[in-house]
Structures are given as structure tokens and as C-alpha cells.
Chain A
Amino acid sequence: GENVEQHPSTLSVQEGDSAVIKCTYSDSASNYFPWYKQELGKGPQLIIDIRSNVGEKKDQRIAVTLNKTAKHFSLHITETQPEDSAVYFCAASPNSGGSNYKLTFGKGTLLTVNP
């Protein structure tokens, strides 16, 4: 089955700096890659996603890049703010008959943005 590795496990940055989180996946059939943000006491919140036919996607301060050949994808957060502090999860899923509901998650990155 799919295996997703995520690095680093913890990341501390100063407010205004950029943060980068990297993930690798093992199953070449995976073609959907979402990123989730989880704050304390809450469920994961989808912040951005990318499909395998796209190399990069951006939404304001957040961007995701995908390298299908190397089987890795990354989350980039620019101009970080204290409210960006949370645990971030990457995930991967194969398109099995139109259902992308079986996500395999990385172990998460605890991002701390220091004021």
C-alpha cells in the first residue's frame, strides 16, 4: 500500500519567514495530494490540494509543488504569521474508480511561528 513520509516533524520559524514542509510517497498510482492544517482540539482543515497533472498551485501565502518523477511534494508558506502555528499533514490518494476518499497521511509537522 501507499506510504507517505513527512519532514520535518517540528519546525520553528520567526514571524514573516517562510516555512517549507516536504513529503514523499511510494505508490505511483497516487494522483491526489491534499494538505491539512490541524489546530488544537479541532479536526484537520483542508488548506490546499493538488492533482498529479499539475506541478504547482498557489493560494495567497500558501503554495504546493509536486514532482511526480521523484514522488515528492512540498508545502510552502510565505510571510508566516502566529496564527499559522498548527500541525500540518500531507496526504496522498490513488484515483480508484473515481473515489479519492482513502487518504494515506504523513505523520505531521508541528509548525511554530514565533512573534
Chain B
Amino acid sequence: KAGVTQTPRYLIKTRGQQVTLSCSPISGHRSVSWYQQTPGQGLQFLFEYFSETQRNKGNFPGRFSGRQFSNSRSEMNVSTLELGDSALYLCASSFPGNEKLFFGSGTQLSVL
């Protein structure tokens, strides 16, 4: 069974640009969550989607947004990039009614 797949693996952007990251959950998983990981702040929850609806949201500015498609694949978008947005962005999926989260390998975003 394939795991959570995130693309691209690495991204380099400049300040002011926007970026879109993609996540394909494990087959059958309908909930997708996104986390930001940095050396200083650790792992922080961004948002969670279930059946194409945002169900939970963390404490991040509106520049961070996401969506989920009918096939449960998800994308997150960051607009007007800032240097502080440099981080590993992790996607996790879960089977309906099961609390266990399974993470992908992440997308390493560098903002120059």
C-alpha cells in the first residue's frame, strides 16, 4: 500500500511569490492534515480537511490556505511568501474514524 505522497520534494522561491504544494493521501484515507516544521517552532498544525471541507484550522495567517478534492488529494497554497515561511511542510492522512495520522516525507520550502 503506497504511503502519503507529497510533491515536490524541494522548492526554492523568492519573497513575494506564491507556492502550491500537493499531497496524495493513503488510499481510502479521507482526512488530510497539514503541518509546518521548523527548527525553532517545531511541528505546528496548519489545517485539516475532510470530504473537501476544512474542519480544523491552526493559528496561521490567511496567506496560508488549502483545499481538498473529491479524490481526497489536497493542496496547500502560501501567497506572498516571507523568509520565515522557509520550512518543511508535512501532510498527514487518516482513515475515517481512526485517529492514527500517517505522514508523508514533506516538501522542503526555501524562501530567498
Contacts and interface: CB of A to CB of B under 8 A. Distances in A.
Interface in A60-96: 89, 91, 93, 96
Contacts of B72: none
Given A34-B101, A49-B100, A102 B45 contact: yes
A43 B104 contact: yes
B68 interface: no
Interface residues of B, number: 25
Interface of B: 4, 31, 33, 35, 42-45, 48, 50, 55-56, 58, 90, 92, 94, 97, 99-106
Contacts of A32: 99
Contact of B101 (A41, A46, A96, A104): A46
B45 A34 contact: no
Contacts of B99: 32, 34, 49, 93, 100-101
Interface residues of A, number: 25
Given A34-B101, A93-B99, A99-B55, A44 B43 contact: yes
B29 to A, nearest CB: 11
Nearest to B99: A100
A104 B45 contact: yes
Contacts of B94: 101
Contacts of B50: 99
Nearest to B88: A43
A24 to B, nearest CB: 15
A45 interface: yes
A103 B42 contact: no
A46 B45 contact: no
A9 B48 CA distance: 28
A115 interface: no
Contacts of B44: 105
The 3 closest A-B pairs by CB, nearest first: A100-B99, A43-B103, A105-B43
A8 B18 CA distance: 37
11 contacts: A41-B105, A43-B4, A46-B100, A89-B43, A91-B43, A93-B99, A99-B31, A101-B55, A101-B56, A101-B92, A101-B101
A32 B98 CA distance: 11
